[in-house]
Amino acid sequence: MTKSPKVALVLGAVKGIGKAIALDLLQHGIRVAATWFDWPESQAAMQADFADTGTEHLIQRIDLLNPHAIDGLLEPVIDRFGRLDILVNNIERGGWPVVHGRYIPEQWDLELATTLRAKRWVFEAALPHLKASGDGSVVNISSIAGMVGRSGPASVLFNEGYAAANRGISLLTETWARLGAPEVRVNELMIGVVETRHGPQTRGWGLLTAAQQQAIVDHTLLARIGRIDDVVRAVRFLLDDAPFMTGSVLRLDGGYPLGGEAVAPMPDGVV
């Protein structure tokens, strides 16, 4: 493994997508500062798996819903590593109608604070350090909920607040690309149903009927649920292989937004 001078900050890295992205970076020799807050039962495994990579890392427990806590997020990172080159903005609260039912004001506020506001505060804190690197990169993780909303088979997956927050991420991505240029690229990875994000390894999936689960798969052109490795490879592409790409949205959804509408056979015509 070739060591890299680069340093990445990965949010929500205790399990699932965030953990897999952090491990991939560590395995490529990139030093990682990773955050966690919930799921303390997964923290020991996180520590062990990170240590197994042999790459230097820093794990911080922080409540990203507290903007004042975010003010102190970067200081230990810079003290430890001296720089920041990559931000993987992976924090959200996926609003499941089948789990939470009808909205109450507290749930609405929590979804927007987690999925949208926390990303903004972290980016603001990280931007000066990313600019100082001269070749910074930000990947905002979002959901196709921002495109499809609460409609079709996804009606049981995405609440309106979650969908609205994810649409807002696209606006932030464009604004941040302007703020970061030319030293920092900012792109968005908009994901569909993935095994640990609205997929079979989540609590909500188990509450769906077999028919509801199959309807989601049937609406996906590639006829499967996304895998964590699909997301990891897409993040790796944005970081390593897209140097002329900024302010863009890369969709990784198996074609879900295009599903449900068949292409009719071409008619013979009259001439």
**Domain CATH number, residue 11:** 3.40.50.720
Query: If you average pLDDT over every residue of the chain, what do you get?
Result: 94
Q: Is 148 exposed, middle or buried (0-12, 13-18, 19+ CB in 10 A)?
A: buried
pLDDT > 90? residue 172 = yes
Buried b / exposed e over 109-121, threshold 16 CB at 10 Å, is ebbbbbbbbbbbb
pLDDT > 80? residue 180 = yes
Q: Could you tell me if residue 270 is inside a domain?
A: no
Q: Could you tell me if residue 104 is inside a domain?
A: yes
**What pLDDT is recorded for position 38?**
86
d(CA 266, CA 78): 60
Segment 32-59 mean pLDDT:
94
Choose among 125, 127, 140, 42: nearest CA to 90.
140
Q: Which domain holds residue 29?
A: 7-252
217-241 per-position pLDDT tens digit: 999 999 999 999 999 999 999 999 9
Q: Could you tell me if residue 12 is inside a domain?
A: yes
Q: Quote the pTM value.
A: 0.95
pLDDT > 80? residue 95 = no
Q: Could you tell me if residue 97 is inside a domain?
A: yes
The CA angle 162-17-224, to the nearest 5 degrees, is 80
Q: What is the number of structural domains in the chain?
A: 1
**What pLDDT is recorded for position 98?**
82
Q: Could you tell me if residue 164 is inside a domain?
A: yes
Q: Could you tell me if residue 263 is inside a domain?
A: no
More confident residue, 93 or 263: 263
Between the CA atoms of 127, 112, 38 and 153, what dihedral angle is there, to the nearest 10 degrees? -120
At residue 89, what are phi and psi to the nearest 5 degrees? Answer: -85, 80
